[in-house]
Amino acid sequence: MGEIRTVEIVDMNEDGVGIAKLSDGMVVFVPDTVAGERAEIEIIERRKRYANAKCLNLIHISSERIDPLCPDTGTCGGCSLAHVSFDLENRIKANAVRAALRRNGLGQVAVEETLSSGTRRGYRNKMSVRFDPEAKIFGYSEASGTAILPFHECSLCPDVFGAIVRFANERGEKLSSLLPSVLEIRSGTDGITVLLECAARAAAFDGFAQELRRAFPEICQVLAAPFDADERPVLRDRIAGFDLLFSVRAFRQVNTPMFEKLLELVISLAGEKPFSSAVDLYCGSGIIGLALARAFPDAALYGVEINPDAVEDARRNAAANGVGNITFFAGDAASFRSHLKNGNTPSLLVVDPPRAGLSTDMRLEILQLAPERMIYVSCNPQTLARDLAELCAAGYSVRRVVPVNLFPATRHVETVCCLYRQTKDFISVPYEPKNADYLRHMK
């Protein structure tokens, strides 16, 4: 039996774990507790700087604790914050960004309140479930291992997505002959796309596809992957006033309404000062670059992305939406200077890297280019803080840090930062883009 203590839960981390402090200052992590609660705990592990404990009894229950919408919360692991109020979730996410900055020597940088919507339910436009060949069902992975859980529902997705998974699971025995691995469901303006990853293609798939479309008229296409070399199925969506076409496997933000809010924020930050040219790095299918190009028609925009299929989507979408002041290139973001005309230095740089953040080569490239301003969109506070610390050490200052709750109920938080290169004669001048009405009519 370990130490038994009674503690106050003073904070929480993004994993939904309560944090207490012992009288000697030792930090204790206590799962299944919420900030504001008083709990009897058992310390099960002591380390040099912290301890881990389990909750034995809740003496006082916080008013911020709620009943999760999903019956699998705690076993699936996807919704680590589903048991706390939305207000507390947003505070936790802002605190996660603050903590990452503080650990990297940027504790003086102010972090704004989390930008969020009013809902946690049904916001995802994509669901992906794995097939268990033994149980012959699709489901989510268990948080503590690789086992696949029986699927009940997912409150983050539209109800019809869950109904499609349950429909497939009723036919799991028949589908097992296809050697399936993943069932992916995505929504767009034309309807729902269902994609089955399978190693074998047989009549069983065609029969399943026909049954599925009869049962769910919302479905516009049922596909089997991998695709043949000449196949390139697409889906359509409308985002921020753009009618867009995506390769069906292309990355697309899963929360369209909140992504539109993020785009508004990026455009607002870009509009703080005039610029004649800008580069959007890690541009994917080009939505950030397209939004900037439409909002600032007198500026020359460039987008760089390593995935050639995404670049093809971006070029096609620029042409289809009549956006002529942006050029997209396929290549490593760290070599983007080679794509600029006459080596011109853009005054504004927008980066939206993967979770690993900016590579060493990319950080060196940015510091050599030394753009006047940067907008950094991050999906990982830890790598964001690391990169900001290096940029600040090289002469940049962080002007704004805004957490964006793009993934409600989960541990993940998007962050948008604005940086300026420090110069002695710099004067910030408020600036409104020529077609500022675009900001007010994006949806």
Q: Which of 79, 379, 417, 418 is catalytic?
A: 379
C-beta separation of 183 from 196 below 8 A: yes
Phi, psi of 100 (to 5 degrees): -65, -45
Residue type for 132, please? D
Reference 92, options 38, 35, 51; nearest CA is: 35
C-beta separation of 112 from 403 below 8 A: yes
Reference 436, options 264, 300, 301; nearest CA is: 264
| 326 DSSP β-pair partners | 301
Respond yes or no: is residue 379 known to be catalytic. yes
C-beta separation of 249 from 308 below 8 A: no
Residue type for 102, please? R
Strands 38-46 and 3-12: antiparallel
One-character DSSP codes across 362-430: HHHHHHHH--SEEEEEES-HHHHHHHHHHHHHTTEEEEEEEEE-SSTTSS--EEEEEEEE--TT-----
C-beta separation of 33 from 19 below 8 A: no
C-beta separation of 434 from 298 below 8 A: yes
Q: How many other C-beta atoms are found inside a 10 Å radius of the C-beta of residue 341?
A: 9
CA distance 41 to 2: 9
Token pair for 249? 């496997």
Q: Rounded to whole angstroms, what are the CA distances from 353 to 212, 314, 385?
A: 37, 17, 13
Token pair for 182? 């993943």
Order of strands, sheet of 414-421, starting from the edge strand that comes earlier in the sequence? 326-330, 300-305, 277-281, 348-351, 373-378, 414-421, 396-404
CA 69 to chain centre: 21
* Residues labelled as active-site residues: 379
